[in-house]
Chain A
């Protein structure tokens, strides 16, 4: 079982619709959860982070965390063509030696005009 699992996609959504991305993780000791966006040929860019169960909203993005189910999701409202990218879920288990971020395989999102 992979430590962090995502559906690879592509997830195709029409412009203006809601894109829903899911992520599950296996390590119950995971403490922090992140969503990174990565455009083709570019480096990952942090868009959301969440530590507590529930929802966290930032602009058009909402992250949802359910630690009991070991599940984290990302909603993108009013999707735009510029949102077309690969979205990486990342899980952090903080150690004394430093942050050890583990990434999922990513979900490719295509927003069609």
Chain B
């Protein structure tokens, strides 16, 4: 299994809603990432979890709250979002280790297209 699975594929939410994005991988990877990608722009790193601990937070607003319940799952909890938060949210994973060819390769999920009304 070489897939990173994200659900839902599409999400429409109001500014007062609370929703969660889910990401799952069964490749045994111990690093997981959240990226945000606006239309016609490159992906931008939001969070990195390494061995289920939050290791990088790119100064993301607190209305985005990541969670890593176990080594296979990564969630992104959303609350009080703004219309400008509408974007494609990408999850990725990689396997930390000494071999660069392995540990720096990111496998991306297909993303959740989020629209905030």
Contact = CB atoms under 8 A, between A and B. Distances in A.
Interface of A: 4, 32, 34, 42-46, 49, 51, 88, 92, 94-95, 97-106
B56 interface: yes
Which among A4, A34, A88, A97 has the highest number of chain B CB atoms within 10 Å? A97
Contact of B104 (A43, A49, A105): A49
B42 interface: yes
Contact of A99 (B48, B101, B108, B110): B48
Contact of B106 (A51, A94, A95, A99): A99
Nearest to A43: B108
A54 B114 CA distance: 41
Interface of B: 31, 33, 41-45, 48, 50, 55-56, 90, 94, 96, 100-101, 103-111
B113 to A, nearest CB: 8
B106 A43 contact: no
A34 B31 CA distance: 18
Contacts of A44: 43, 90, 108
Contact of B45 (A34, A45, A101): A101
10 contacts: A43-B110, A43-B111, A44-B90, A46-B107, A49-B104, A92-B104, A98-B31, A99-B33, A99-B94, A101-B45
Contacts of B41: 105
Contacts, number: 56
Provide the main secondary structure of the chain A interface.
strand
A105 to B, nearest CB: 5
B50 A97 contact: yes
Contacts of A101: 45, 106
A49 B106 CA distance: 11
Contacts of A34: 104
Which among B41, B90, B108 has the highest number of chain A CB atoms within 10 Å? B108
Given A98-B48, A99-B31, A99-B33, 10 more contacts: A43-B109, A44-B43, A46-B106, A46-B107, A94-B104, A98-B96, A99-B94, A99-B104, A102-B45, A105-B42
